[in-house]
């Protein structure tokens, strides 16, 4: 009898334990597994939890939490993508550092400026970029809590030249007005510096070119004022010199006006079909006397596929005049000049070659600059304004083309004007 009672009690206890296990203990292990999967970012196969109503409510709450987490992840990914798109579109370099000068954010432009392989968030700036001026600028911005500005010089490994960068640093402050970092913008001003130098050189060169003939003219005017009755021979000599230098001034002014017109936004072309061989022959005819003075032989070579092109004939005539003037000027007695035209794909190439003194490799890249002379002493002795090749370059660019130069000292020079055949 006692054994039966004991068996019944044990059965009741076992059923109670089983019910308790299934209703309370087992669901919490399942809930723990759900929490672990959500923490890893994995989606559980189901949020249905076996057990009582409380455990099932916990499962439903976890499903809601998981859905909200996914929505937040999507929003953060969208914002991150938008931020990266904006940073990528910013042409200035961007650097954000914290108060300990650790990198918080960079964009691709900054990474390219300093040769970084990729983002370096969390890394001390000095471990990635070593530049004394930049380090000082950040330190002063963090110390003073005020915006600062400076300029950096960086070596460009691709062009083997120096790049000039303007840097603006702005402090980041919290609600207590404490400086917690700095934002720096890097703006490349290399081209502005170059243009400013060109402008300064241009003003200096114009002043120099004008000063010489004006000084000579003023000197002879003063001579005539001091001695109003010179001999006929002396007067003829003075007037001849004054005429020569006044012509030089006139040519200089004409070339300056022509160059200014070509560089203006209002420059236009009167396009027409140009017969290249006829154009060459007309130019050679105009220069017959100067060619004969040095016994120069001229060869005109026009390939059949380059017999015509669409361009401004008056402008092309100006190009050939300037090129032929240089070829005659620097050719030796009894030398040879060649005018050629040929096709290069969709382009027509006009070239003027001579077998004269040539240009050094150091001077060759600069011959199309205004007033640049490879041999300054000889150029002024032979005359000219120093603007001819600059005018040639601008006329070619106005047609949508370009200029090329090839030369070797003692062996002559070839200048090519490459134009679209059908602009």
| Helix (H), strand (E), coil (C) string for 145-180 | CCCEEEEEEEEECCCCEEEEEEEEEEEEECCCCCEE
Q: Per CATH, which fold does 90-188 belong to?
A: Beta-Lactamase (3.30.450)
- Token pair of 267, please? 């420059």
Quick check: 101 and 126 in contact, CB under 8 A? yes
Residue 254: pLDDT band with limits 50, 70, 90:
confident
Least-confidence region, from 190-199, 205-214, 322-331: 205-214
Q: Rounded to whole angstroms, how far apart are CA atoms 189 and 167?
A: 10
From residue 67, alpha-carbon distances to 32, 44, 62, 411 in Å are 18, 12, 9, 80
- Token pair of 373, please? 């002379």
What average pLDDT does the chain have?
79
Summarize pLDDT for 67-98 with one digit per residue, the tens. 777 767 676 656 655 556 655 666 788 888 99
As annotated, the residues of the chain forming the CATH 3.30.565.10 domain(s) are 269-423
Domain 191-267: give its CATH architecture.
Answer: Orthogonal Bundle (1.10)
As annotated, the residues of the chain forming the CATH 1.10.287.130 domain(s) are 191-267
From residue 86, alpha-carbon distances to 81, 159, 210, 259 in Å are 9, 28, 51, 41
Contacts 24+ apart (CB under 8 A), 53-59: 55/23, 55/24, 55/27, 55/28, 55/30, 55/31, 58/27, 58/31, 59/30, 59/31, 59/34
**What residue has token string 């790049």?**
163
Counting residues of the chain whose pLDDT is more than 90, the rounded percentage is: 18
- Strands of 119-276 (E only): list them: 148-156, 161-173, 179-188, 271-275
Closest CA to 324 of 357, 278, 291: 291
Instruction: Tell me whether strands 308-312 and 336-344 are parallel, antiparallel or unpaired.
Output: unpaired
Summarize pLDDT for 375-401 with one digit per residue, the tens. 554 444 445 567 788 888 988 998 899
**Average of pLDDT values for 193-206?**
75
pTM value is: 0.55
Q: Rounded to whole angstroms, how far apart are CA atoms 125 and 101?
A: 6
Please determine, for residue 138, whether its predicted confidence score (pLDDT) is greater than 50: yes
What pLDDT does residue 48 have? Answer: 60
Residues 6+ apart with CB under 8 A from 151: 133, 164, 165, 166, 167, 189
Quick check: 33 and 47 in contact, CB under 8 A? no
| Comparison of pLDDT for 32 and 150, the residue scoring more | 150
For residue 300, give the H/E element and its range.
strand 297-302
As annotated, the residues of the chain forming the CATH 3.30.450.20 domain(s) are 90-188
- Token pair of 293, please? 């003075």
Domain 269-423: give its CATH architecture.
Answer: 2-Layer Sandwich (3.30)
């Amino acid at each position: 009898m006692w054994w039966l009672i004991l068996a019944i009690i044990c059965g009741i206890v076992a059923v109670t334990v089983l019910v308790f296990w299934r209703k309370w203990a087992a669901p919490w292990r399942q809930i723990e597994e759900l929490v672990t999967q959500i923490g890893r970012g994995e989606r559980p196969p189901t949020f249905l939890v076996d057990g009582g109503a409380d455990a099932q409510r916990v499962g439903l709450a976890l499903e809601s939490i998981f859905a909200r987490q996914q929505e937040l992840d999507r929003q953060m990914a969208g914002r991150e993508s938008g931020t990266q798109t904006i940073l990528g579109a910013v042409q200035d370099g961007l650097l954000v550092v914290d108060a300990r000068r650790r990198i918080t954010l960079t964009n691709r432009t900054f990474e390219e400026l300093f040769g970084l392989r990729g983002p370096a968030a969390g890394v001390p700036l000095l471990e990635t970029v070593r530049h004394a001026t930049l380090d000082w600028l950040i330190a002063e911005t963090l110390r003073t809590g005020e915006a600062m500005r400076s300029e950096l010089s960086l070596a460009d490994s691709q062009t083997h030249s120096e790049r000039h960068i303007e840097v603006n640093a702005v402090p980041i402050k919290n609600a207590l007005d404490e400086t917690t970092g700095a934002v720096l913008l890097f703006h490349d001003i290399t081209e502005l510096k170059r243009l400013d130098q060109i402008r300064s050189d241009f003003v200096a060169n114009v002043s120099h070119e004008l000063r010489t003939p004006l000084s000579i003219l003023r000197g002879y005017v003063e001579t005539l004022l001091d001695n109003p009755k010179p001999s006929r021979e002396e007067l003829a000599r003075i007037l001849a010199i004054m005429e020569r230098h006044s012509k030089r001034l006139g040519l200089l002014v004409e070339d300056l006006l022509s160059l200014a017109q070509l560089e203006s936004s209002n420059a236009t072309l009167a396009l027409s079909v140009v017969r290249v061989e006829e154009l060459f022959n007309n130019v050679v005819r105009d220069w017959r006397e100067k060619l004969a003075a040095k016994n120069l032989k001229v060869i005109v070579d026009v390939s059949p596929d380059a017999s015509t092109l669409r361009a401004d004939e008056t402008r092309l005539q100006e190009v050939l005049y300037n090129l032929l003037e240089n070829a005659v000027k620097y050719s030796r007695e009894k030398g040879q000049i060649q005018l050629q035209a040929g096709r290069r794909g969709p382009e027509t190439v006009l070239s003027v070659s001579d077998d004269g003194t040539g240009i050094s490799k150091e001077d060759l890249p600069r011959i199309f600059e205004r007033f640049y002379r490879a041999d300054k002493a000889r150029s002024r002795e032979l005359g000219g304004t120093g603007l001819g090749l600059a005018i040639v370059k601008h006329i070619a660019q106005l047609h949508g083309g370009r200029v090329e130069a090839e030369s070797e000292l003692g062996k002559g020079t070839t200048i090519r004007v490459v134009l679209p055949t059908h602009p």
